[in-house]
Structure 1
Amino acid sequence: MAPTTMMFLRHGEKPGEHGAPFGVDQHGNADPHSLSVRGWTRAGALAALFDHVPAPGRPALARPQRVLATQPTHDYRSKRERDTATPTAERIGVGVETDFTHKDAGAAAKSILGDDRDALVVWHHGSLPELLAHFPLANAADVPKEWPEDRFDLIWVLTRDADGAYAFLEVDQDLLSDDRAAG
């Protein structure tokens, strides 16, 4: 059995490369591998969002029963995926699964498809199109070739149809004051 709905997103906003905004851990300590204050704000807003879906205006989203995030590696030390996923996982009462790095797309897809729980996946944005290529998609041509570099406010949703294929849909988060609206 496979999940009915899978939701994929990029981590929340990151620190600037050469100065502010700075990265901080969950305790407010400086950490260049964690989220910026805005990223933490987004992570909290996502937790509230996913705790209250499906909802009017959000029919494509589901309340996740499983939360996955990439784990840091020696070469890719970002904790931002886990930082973004943790508030949602805590709010809905599940742990964050960090069994995969962003280079483990095939193994992660196999794990997700092998479990019938609806899933939220927080992944490195540069590898998200590769991850989605491992799912049986009815409209694979609709999946962007790249996650937009300047977008932290999207959710890529896969919804299973009666034939077992998934339909791709891009959804705007519309959580923070300057998130872009659909269109």
Structure 2
Amino acid sequence: MSALTVLLLRHAEKPGGDYPGVGRTFEGKRDDKSLIVRGWQRAGAWAALLGSGLSADYPLPTIIYAARPEPVTAEASFSHRPWETALPLARRLYLDVNTRWGVGQEQALVEELTKLTGTVAIFWEHKAIPTQIIPALLGSQSIPGVPAKWDSDRFDVVLRFDRATPDAPWSYRQLSPRLLDGDSDKPFAELRTL
């Protein structure tokens, strides 16, 4: 079987948003490039959902990618949050988090992942998901409703892409599992076809 499912997730909550607190590493050390307590709660909730295998909407990942938690070039942005968000899921499934690619290397990431089969979970920076990863994944294919922008206040969404074979077109769904208090099941506010 050569089917591929790609689950795109934004890193969990960070300092300076709607929820209080400073960023903390998984060891509890203060770090502004890390998740806040609410973000660590979300990372655990993603692990419980995506690591359970109990829902056809959220199949068990066979590989997990996260943006590299260090800069890939001198001018590249980075944070620890994508890797930290992926970490509880990876530990639950006894997988390593693949951090080979960082922000700014989305084309190389997609070239690698589209050669795979199974289910791939990708935890990334929210601005690059709709502007870099999705266009590289879809190529010339246009799918109505695929967001061209990730709502800046949304950490509770999975963008799911499926294809049956390497030559088949992609299908798309926006999933909102409402894992934490205050999560929404509304589609992104700004939907434009890519």
TM-score, length of structure 2 as denominator length:
0.85
Contact 1:67 1:121 in 2 (8 A): yes
Query: Match of 1:7, SS?
Result: strand
How many matched pairs? 179
Query: Match of 1:107, SS?
Result: helix
Q: Does residue 178 of structure 1 match 2:179?
A: no
**Distance in 1 between residues matched to 2:144 and 2:129, nearest whole Å:** 15
Instruction: Deviation per CA, 1:52-74: give whole Å up to 9, x if none.
Output: 2352xxx3321100000001215
**Distance in 2 between residues matched to 1:94 and 1:121, nearest whole Å:** 13
Matched residue type, 1:181: D
Q: CA deviation at 1:136?
A: 3.5
Contact 2:78 2:102 in 1 (8 A): no
The worse-fitting range, judged by mean Cα deviation, of 123-132 and 45-54 is 45-54
Q: Does residue 154 of structure 1 match 2:151?
A: no
**Distance in 1 between residues matched to 2:175 and 2:57, nearest whole Å:** 8
Contact 1:12 1:80 in 2 (8 A): yes
Query: Match of 2:102, SS?
Result: coil
Q: CA deviation at 1:84?
A: 0.3
Contact 2:4 2:118 in 1 (8 A): yes
TM-score, length of structure 1 as denominator length:
0.89
| Pairs within 5 Å for 1:12-161 | 12-16=12-16, 20-55=20-55, 59-71=56-68, 72-73=70-71, 74=74, 75-129=76-130, 130-136=132-138, 139-161=142-164
Identity in percent? 29
Structure 1: give runs of 5+ residues left out of the alignment: none
Aligned CA distance change for structure 1 residues 54 and 132 (closer, same or farther; 3 Å): farther
Matched residue type, 1:8: L
Instruction: Deviation per CA, 1:137-182: give whole Å up to 9, x if none.
Output: 7553321111110100000000114662111111003110110124
**Distance in 2 between residues matched to 1:89 and 1:3, nearest whole Å:** 21
**Distance in 2 between residues matched to 1:172 and 1:124, nearest whole Å:** 18
Contact 2:52 2:60 in 1 (8 A): yes
Q: CA deviation at 1:28?
A: 1.2
Instruction: Deviation per CA, 1:9-43: give whole Å up to 9, x if none.
Output: 000000117x9421000011111000000000000
RMSD between aligned residues: 2.1
Instruction: Deviation per CA, 1:106-153: give whole Å up to 9, x if none.
Output: 110011011113100001110001201112375533211111101000
